[in-house]
Amino acid sequence: MASIIDSRIFGDIFSDAKMRAVWSDENRTAKYLDIERALAKVQGRLGIIPQEAADEIVKNCNIEMIDWAQLKAKTEQIGYPIIAVVNQINANCRDKLGEYCHWGATTQDITDTATVLQMREGLALVEADLKAISDSLADLSRTYRDTPIIGRSNLQQAIPITFGFKMASILAGIERHRERLEQLKPRVFMGEFGGAAGTLASIEKGAMETQAGLMAELGLACPPIAWHTVRDTIAEVGAFLALVGGSLGKIAMDVKLMMQTEVAEVFEPYAPGRGSSSTMPQKRNPISCLYIHANISVARQHAAALMDAMVADHERSTGPWEIEWVSLPEIFCLMSGALKQTKFVLAGLEVDTVQMRRNINMTHGLVMSEAVMMGLGPFIGREYAHDLVYELCRDALKQQRPLVEILAEHPEINAHVSRAQLDAFCDPANYLGQAGVMVDQVLALRRA
Least confident of 279-293, 339-353, 373-387: 279-293
Residue 95 phi, psi dihedral angles, 5° rounding: 50, 35
Residue 97, Ramachandran bin (φ over 0: left; ψ between -120 and 50: alpha; else beta): alpha
Q: Distance between CA atoms of 57 and 22, rounded to whole angstroms?
A: 25
Please give the distance of CA 291 from its chain centroid, rounded to a whole number. 14
Please tell me the predicted confidence (pLDDT) of residue 211.
Answer: 98
Please tell me the predicted confidence (pLDDT) of residue 273.
Answer: 72
Q: Distance between CA atoms of 405 and 419, rounded to whole angstroms?
A: 9
Long-range CB contacts (within 8 A, 24+) of 432-438: 432/146, 432/148, 432/160, 432/161, 432/162, 432/165, 435/145, 435/146, 435/161, 435/162, 435/164, 435/165, 436/145, 436/146, 436/162, 436/164, 436/165, 438/165, 438/168
Q: Which pLDDT band, with edges at 50, 70 and 90, does 286 fall under?
A: very high
For the beta carbon of residue 288, count every other beta carbon within 10 angstroms: 26
DSSP for residue 226: -
Task: Work out the average pLDDT over 161-187.
Answer: 98
Please tell me the predicted confidence (pLDDT) of residue 275.
Answer: 66
Contact between 334 and 14 under an 8 Å Cβ cutoff? The reply is yes
Task: Work out the average pLDDT over 88-102.
Answer: 97
Task: Work out the average pLDDT over 418-434.
Answer: 95
At residue 1, does pLDDT exceed 70?
Answer: no
Q: Distance between CA atoms of 117 and 139, rounded to whole angstroms?
A: 34
Contact between 339 and 130 under an 8 Å Cβ cutoff? The reply is yes
- Which residue(s) pair with 221 in the sheet? 190
At 27-56, the pLDDT tens digits run 999 999 999 999 999 999 999 999 999 999
Task: Work out the average pLDDT over 59-71.
Answer: 97
Q: Distance between CA atoms of 192 and 223, rounded to whole angstroms?
A: 7
Q: Distance between CA atoms of 178 and 132, rounded to whole angstroms?
A: 11
Half-sphere exposure in the Cβ direction for 318 (13 Å, CA) = 2
Contact between 286 and 268 under an 8 Å Cβ cutoff? The reply is yes
Q: Distance between CA atoms of 253 and 247, rounded to whole angstroms?
A: 10
Select from 336, 267, 432 the least CA-distant residue to 128. 336
Please tell me the predicted confidence (pLDDT) of residue 283.
Answer: 74
Contact between 3 and 317 under an 8 Å Cβ cutoff? The reply is no
Q: Distance between CA atoms of 241 and 233, rounded to whole angstroms?
A: 13
Residue 267 phi, psi dihedral angles, 5° rounding: -140, 150
276 is catalytic: no
At 379-405, the pLDDT tens digits run 999 999 999 999 999 999 999 999 999
Per the model's pLDDT, the better-predicted residue between 6 and 342 turns out to be 342
Per the prediction, the chain carries an average pLDDT of: 95
Record the pTM: 0.94
DSSP string of 165-216?
A: HHHHHHHHHHHHHHHHHHHHHHHHSB-----TTSS-TT-SSSHHHHHHHHHH
At 198-230, the pLDDT tens digits run 999 999 999 999 999 999 999 999 999 999 999
At residue 276, does pLDDT exceed 70?
Answer: no
C-alpha distances in angstroms, 375 versus 291, 350, 386, 428?
Answer: 45, 36, 11, 14
Q: Distance between CA atoms of 49 and 110, rounded to whole angstroms?
A: 18
At residue 193, does pLDDT exceed 80?
Answer: yes
Q: Which pLDDT band, with edges at 50, 70 and 90, does 181 fall under?
A: very high
Catalytic one among 3, 24, 277, 418?
277
Residue 211 phi, psi dihedral angles, 5° rounding: -60, -50
DSSP for residue 221: B
Q: Distance between CA atoms of 69 and 75, rounded to whole angstroms?
A: 10
Residue 161 phi, psi dihedral angles, 5° rounding: -130, -160
At 107-117, the pLDDT tens digits run 999 999 999 99
Contact between 436 and 167 under an 8 Å Cβ cutoff? The reply is no
94 is catalytic: no
Radius of gyration of the chain (CA): 30
Q: Distance between CA atoms of 86 and 107, rounded to whole angstroms?
A: 10
- Exposed / middle / buried, residue 437 (Cβ in 10 Å: 0-12, 13-18, 19+): exposed
Q: Which pLDDT band, with edges at 50, 70 and 90, does 194 fall under?
A: very high
Contact residues for 12 (Cβ-Cβ < 8 A; gap 6+): none
